[in-house]
Amino acid sequence: SSMSGKTLGHYRILEKIGEGGMGAVFQAEDLTLRRPVALKFLPSEQATDPAAHQQLLKEARAASRLNHPNIATVYEVGEASGTPFIAMELVQGESLKQILQRGPLQRTQLFEVARQVAEGLNEAHQAGVLHRDVKPGNIMLDSKGRVKILDFGLAMFAGKERTQGEAAETFITRTATQWSTGGTVPYMSPEQLRGDPTDARSDIFSYGVMLYECLSGHRPFRGETSIDVLHAILRQPLPPLRNFVADVPQDWEQLIEQCLEKSPERRFRTMQEVLRALPRATATGARAEKSLAVLYFENLSGAKEDEYFRDGITEDVTTELSRINELTLFPRSAVLAFRDKPITAPQVGQQLGAAFILEGSLRRAGNRLRITAQLVETHTGHTVWADRFDREMKDVFEVQDEIARSISQALRIKLSPQEEKAIARKPTESAQAYDYYLRGRQYFHQFRRKGFDFARQMFARAIVIDPRYARAYAGVADCCSFLYMYWDSSEDNLNEAEAASSKALELDPELAEAHAASGLAFALKKNFDEAQKEFETAIRLDPKLYEAYYFYARTSFQRGDLTKAVDLYEKASRINPDDYQAVSLSVAIYHGLGRIEEAEATERRALELAEKHIELHPDDARALYLGAGILARIGKNQQSFEWARRALSIDPEETSILYNVACVYALLGRTEDALGCLEKVMAHGTFYKNWAEKDSDLDSLRSDPRFQALLKSE
């Protein structure tokens, strides 16, 4: 405190804002840049200790290599009048420790804290930095709820990043809660307490302790002394969260329990795995009060040919509701399993972990449309809101608008002006054009050549009826892009993709789907800079648009930027956690990057998602061949071969199937079969050649001159 008012170098010290075993922190002013900073000094008893000086420098080294919005930025390390210090970002707010002293976090706040801390730690681990002292006291929240991780004083560099002679654990300090191996006892992992070598899983254990405390208000391992706490961490079973939180959501419970496994081998292995688990926990936990699943409406007309319309209306109602930021919407894939099944709304809500279910029905007769809808609360089974709409087909968008507004009112959500505007926008003035657009969308999702051909025809008919239908133009562009990639690499397809996406943007510059379509067209022309701009614009306009991340990831892979590609695939997967495609395509990239642990974890998740999808859609060739690739990688060769043959039997001349089955055969060591498939594929243009050059699934073929000849063939 005696330092207050002093000037050190170009810093004027104002007041002390914190103190602990690792040093004292003061608020100061940078006199050169005129900005507030935090200065960290060693404790007075260590001020002349060379080892302590070295430790302070090590902290600065660890934190300064990290540039992430959830990690406090280090500006410099210096010394003035013989006093070493670190100058860092001043985070004005409260520590998580201070907040928890008032009680557990609200569920809405819990998810945001959990996510931001996980993302910050993931960034540190990716840079080879282990924090080793994750606890509420080292987590700050500013006035807007943004998280900053502080105090890398105990951090160490993983693996080769350690300096020569640096031990696996370093003696730091002993206080009431500090232990000789570093860290704060109630939050330390068993291996850290034993002095064993540690890796990212040790931080994950500490993170789990913190989450347990955030949710329950209690630390999981307690005792009168540090020795008692140490014994509890090493030997005693984890006290069930339900002892303190009777209604703890199952997903949160499972997440925390896996973080707190005493054996590192049974924990999440990376913070990326934790992040992937968090969205599932979100729906049933942090945002349970406002989570909603929209069931496919019942088709009362009974006509099979009307199912595309029923599906389209359901999906568009979901899209309208997804524009409301306070709502957590379950994706289309999550509710597919319940389509046309005799199951009640509360039962679906319980299985999904959704607080509310929207169900309904529709009947179409000529130009007349009847839609019924009701919002059911899962916990009580009570109907919160219900209505019936007897309208003409031309009023279909007003019905969707009214449903979205009624649900927001029922859940006491005040719509922002931006949300009001987004919900009120009509994609077209023509109900007939909309009908053709829905038909096209159904064909598009089949992911086959015939499906894309039919989809393009339907989108084109919609444009003839309404020449200003921007989404239909974007649909045409995507069809042409996919036809160019997989079946017909003609200039006509490429030019039409570019022209249609350009027209969509001209008609509606704020349409995210149009920017995503434009990005894909630019990428196929190898104009990667423009493609990147378009994808990033699409994501800015609609951060929940799966296709924007998915197309961007494919383009990044095509460009050879594997790290960016896998990051974008992961983001796509978070938006739609039940989709198997982005996860499956991530596996080969992780292997290509040499990130084996993440590859193996992703394999397990991809296979689970593919199996779930195939149960619902046994004739989906794409799910079969992507799943076959995963099975081959994990050694289930016979099942892999069977799935690949099933995929090929669906359409033996389909080039996308042939290419991916070739990848499976290559992984299985069936070189002749793989080359036989590739010979049929390479005649369809350059796209597959470019992809094959970077595809690690084909590595076993690279030394074969026949494979090299195929890549060079005209």
Query: What is the C-alpha to C-alpha distance for residues 286 and 289, in angstroms, rounded to an integer?
Result: 8
For residue 49, the model assigns a pLDDT of: 66
Beta partners for residue 293, in sequence order: 357
Tell me the CA distances in angstroms from 185 to 47, 168, 193, 221, one per residue in order: 25, 18, 8, 10
* pLDDT averaged per 10 residues, the chain (length 714): 77 82 80 88 65 66 75 80 79 89 83 91 88 91 84 55 35 36 80 90 96 93 87 88 77 89 92 80 50 88 77 85 81 79 85 85 85 88 89 85 87 82 84 90 84 94 95 95 85 94 95 95 92 93 89 90 88 81 88 82 85 85 92 92 94 87 95 92 72 85 90 76
What dihedral do alpha carbons 205, 207, 208, 213 form, nearest 10°?
A: 130
CB 572 within 8 A of CB 549: yes
Alpha helices (runs of H) in 360-490, residue ranges in sequence order: 396-410, 417-424, 431-444, 449-465, 470-486
Tell me, yes or no, if 133 is annotated catalytic: yes
For residue 63, the model assigns a pLDDT of: 66
For residue 166, the model assigns a pLDDT of: 34
Considering 133, 542, 567, 579, which one is annotated as catalytic? 133
Instruction: Say which DSSP state 71 is in.
Output: B
For residue 284, the model assigns a pLDDT of: 44
H-run or E-run covering 133: none
For residue 187, the model assigns a pLDDT of: 94
Smallest CA-to-CA distance from 37 within 15, 59, 20 is with: 15
For residue 174, the model assigns a pLDDT of: 32
The structure tokens 């804002």 sit at 17
pTM over 0.85: no
Smallest CA-to-CA distance from 652 within 630, 631, 673 is with: 673
Q: How many CB atoms lie within 10 A of CB 525?
A: 14
Backbone φ and ψ of 175, nearest 5°: -130, -165
- Collapsed DSSP state (helix, strand, coil) of residue 293: strand
Query: What is the C-alpha to C-alpha distance for residues 558 and 690, in angstroms, rounded to an integer?
Result: 7
How many angstroms from the chain centroid is the CA of residue 46? 44
Query: What is the C-alpha to C-alpha distance for residues 58 and 666, in angstroms, rounded to an integer?
Result: 47
Instruction: Say which DSSP state 468 is in.
Output: T
